[in-house]
């Protein structure tokens, strides 16, 4: 059983079922109790080794001619974009086409898998790393920012970053704070939704490439399906976007703002949202303080947890409070203790939509008096990433507060409606 090479077609007989598929490598796997095969449907399944009665290679195997590398011709009339791969479901789509046993991710492979890309732009392709996005850590954001900057310095017209969808919005927010770019930088991925057999990878990649090549703006953004069918994609601003469904292809939604635009059939329709036009200087600033915690308030939350975060030497806590930015009063003393010991505490709302306003009720006012920073209409995830960035730049509480309440990357909208009226 151990002699069958990954990439081979296998037939597996378990104690209760028979499976046929391509044996996969499992480079990131944390256990060795399973083997993984890719079924004909394109889905990977894991099979417990102890359940396997028999596994044999099917010799006729996968037809090599199914996937042929196309030669990539450079057209000087076309824009040039770089596609940087970081892993995730969108990569596994390519794995499926290429046999799934390596992740070289060259321009040739990309174009062979999604031929429409060549019509849009000259493509450069490169893999930064290969991780499921649930495993992506703040230091990976730095790596992605650095590699993106390297590509931009080559004078290209735009960058596409393929990424797992689970934490793509954390990464987009991090890039928005760390990178000032003269060209569009587009993150995209694939949901491979349960409601459709086919993958959304191709359309997301095509619309992302089109946006990177032709977008009239120079911001970080996420381009993903705008609705469940393969009709159009939305261009979401980096700091205002969130994965709001576990499986649907239109899982990503702009929150508390408007999308930058809509991409459909090689045409971008912009909304009235202001964007930074192409051009300007490239700036890379990757200083981050990793010791920041995102704490969701819930009834029954006890002060002890904040005391533990103090013990663990966290430098910042972003609270996902309730409503307009509240927690139970039983936490007030521990919040005071944290702030007194030099920890920044910032308040967002678990309602996700709307703005915190800590002047309306006494709970909010007391928290403000204690020194909690009200994060306006920032998403909790964005405020969390931003606090890492801010604490990477200053430890001075006044400066931290000033920076948290300054709009750097579209993350805060000025209050349009005064409250109280």
Is residue 3 annotated as a catalytic residue, yes or no?
no
Contact assessment for residue 210 and residue 263, using Cβ atoms and an 8 Å cutoff:
yes
227 binds its own copies (CB under 8 A): no
- How would you class 338 by CB atoms within 10 Å of its CB: exposed for 0-12, middle for 13-18, buried for 19 or more? buried
Nearer to its own copies among residue 245 and residue 267 (C-beta) = 245
Cα separation values, 83 from 111, 224, 284, Å: 11, 16, 19
101 binds its own copies (CB under 8 A): no
Tokens representing 362 are: 């006494």
Nearer to its own copies among residue 46 and residue 397 (C-beta) = 46
**Three-state SS for 380?**
helix
195 binds its own copies (CB under 8 A): yes
132 binds its own copies (CB under 8 A): yes
Residues 334-363 binding its own copies (CB under 8 A) are: 349-357, 359-363
136 binds its own copies (CB under 8 A): yes
* Residue 179: half-sphere exposure toward Cβ, Cα within 13 Å: 32
Least distance from C-beta 194 to its own copies, angstroms? 4
Nearer to its own copies among residue 124 and residue 163 (C-beta) = 163
Q: Which of 84, 91, 213, 388 binds its own copies (CB under 8 A)?
A: 388
CA distance 286 to 20: 46
232 binds its own copies (CB under 8 A): no
The stretch among 6-14, 53-61, 158-166, 394-402 that binds its own copies (CB under 8 A) is 158-166
Is residue 165 annotated as a catalytic residue, yes or no?
yes
Least distance from C-beta 186 to its own copies, angstroms? 20
Q: What sign does the CA torsion over 176, 179, 183, 184 have?
A: negative
Nearest to 220 by CA among 197, 188, 250, 251: 188
Is residue 285 annotated as a catalytic residue, yes or no?
no
321 binds its own copies (CB under 8 A): yes
Name the packing angle between helices 168-178 and 138-153 (round to 10°).
60
Q: Which of 296, 340, 342, 402 binds its own copies (CB under 8 A)?
A: 296
Tokens 């321009």 belong to residue: 107
Nearest to 225 by CA among 185, 191, 260: 191
Least distance from C-beta 93 to its own copies, angstroms? 14
17 binds its own copies (CB under 8 A): no
Least distance from C-beta 275 to its own copies, angstroms? 26
324 binds its own copies (CB under 8 A): yes
Q: Which of 76, 77, 304, 398 binds its own copies (CB under 8 A)?
A: 304
Least distance from C-beta 418 to its own copies, angstroms? 8
Tokens representing 64 are: 């090599």
Q: Which of 165, 167, 188, 363 is catalytic?
A: 165
Nearer to its own copies among residue 76 and residue 421 (C-beta) = 421
Bridge pairing between strands 344-349 and 316-321? parallel
Q: Which of 9, 38, 86, 89 is catalytic?
A: 89
CA distance 303 to 310: 11
Residues 54-83 binding its own copies (CB under 8 A) are: none
Strands lying side by side in the sheet with 292-296: 292-296, 316-321, 344-349, 373-374
Q: Which of 243, 275, 327, 348 is catalytic?
A: 243
CA distance 248 to 190: 10
115 binds its own copies (CB under 8 A): no
Could you tell me the maximum CA-CA distance found in the chain, to the nearest angstrom? 75
Nearer to its own copies among residue 121 and residue 168 (C-beta) = 168
Nearer to its own copies among residue 115 and residue 354 (C-beta) = 354
Nearest to 223 by CA among 188, 262, 171: 188
45 binds its own copies (CB under 8 A): yes
287 binds its own copies (CB under 8 A): no
CA distance 96 to 263: 26
Tokens representing 229 are: 């069918």
328 binds its own copies (CB under 8 A): yes
Q: Which of 8, 14, 44, 394 binds its own copies (CB under 8 A)?
A: 44
Q: Which of 14, 51, 78, 166 is catalytic?
A: 166
CA distance 364 to 327: 8
Tokens 């609270």 belong to residue: 319
Nearer to its own copies among residue 33 and residue 153 (C-beta) = 33
Nearer to its own copies among residue 54 and residue 246 (C-beta) = 246
18 binds its own copies (CB under 8 A): no
Nearest to 321 by CA among 252, 370, 390: 370
Q: Which residues carry out catalysis? A: 89, 165-166, 243
């Amino acid at each position: 059983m151990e002699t069958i090479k990954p990439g081979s077609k296998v037939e597996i007989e378990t104690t209760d079922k028979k499976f046929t598929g391509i044996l996969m490598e499992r480079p990131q796997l944390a256990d060795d109790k399973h083997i993984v095969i890719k079924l004909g449907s394109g889905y990977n399944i894991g099979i417990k080794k102890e359940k396997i009665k028999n596994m044999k290679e099917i010799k006729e195997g996968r037809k090599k001619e199914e996937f042929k590398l196309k030669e990539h011709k450079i057209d000087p009339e076309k824009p040039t974009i770089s596609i940087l791969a970081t892993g995730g479901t969108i990569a596994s789509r390519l794995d499926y086409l290429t046999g799934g046993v390596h992740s070289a991710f060259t321009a040739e492979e990309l174009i062979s898998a999604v031929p429409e890309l060549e019509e849009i732009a000259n493509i450069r392709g490169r893999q930064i790393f290969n991780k499921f996005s649930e495993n992506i850590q703040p230091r990976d954001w730095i790596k992605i920012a650095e590699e993106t900057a390297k590509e931009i310095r080559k004078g290209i017209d735009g960058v596409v970053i393929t990424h797992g969808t689970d934490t793509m919005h954390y990464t987009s927010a991090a890039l928005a704070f760390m990178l000032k770019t003269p060209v569009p930088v587009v993150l995209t991925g694939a949901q491979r939704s349960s409601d459709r057999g086919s993958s959304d990878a191709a359309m997301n990649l095509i619309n992302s490439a089109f946006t990177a090549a032709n977008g009239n703006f120079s911001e970080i953004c996420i381009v993903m399906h705008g609705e469940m069918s393969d009709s159009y994609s939305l261009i979401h601003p980096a700091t205002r976007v969130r994965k709001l469904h576990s499986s649907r292809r239109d899982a990503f939604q702009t929150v508390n703002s408007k999308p930058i635009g809509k991409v459909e059939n090689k045409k971008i329709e912009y909304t009235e949202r202001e964007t930074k036009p192409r051009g300007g200087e490239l700036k890379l600033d990757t200083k981050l303080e990793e010791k920041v915690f995102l704490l969701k308030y819930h009834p029954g939350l006890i002060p002890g947890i904040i005391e533990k975060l103090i013990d663990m030497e966290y430098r910042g806590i972003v609270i996902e409070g309730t409503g307009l930015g509240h927690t139970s009063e039983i936490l007030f003393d521990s919040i005071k203790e944290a702030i007194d010991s030099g920890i920044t505490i910032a308040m967002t709302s678990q309602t996700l939509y709307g703005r915190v306003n800590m002047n309306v009720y006494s709970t909010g006012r007391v928290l403000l008096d204690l020194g909690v920073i009200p994060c306006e209409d920032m998403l909790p995830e964005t405020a969390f990433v931003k606090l890492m960035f801010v604490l990477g730049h200053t430890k001075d509480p006044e400066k931290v507060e000033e920076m948290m309440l300054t709009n750097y990357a579209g993350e805060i909208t000025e209050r349009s409606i005064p409250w109280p009226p």
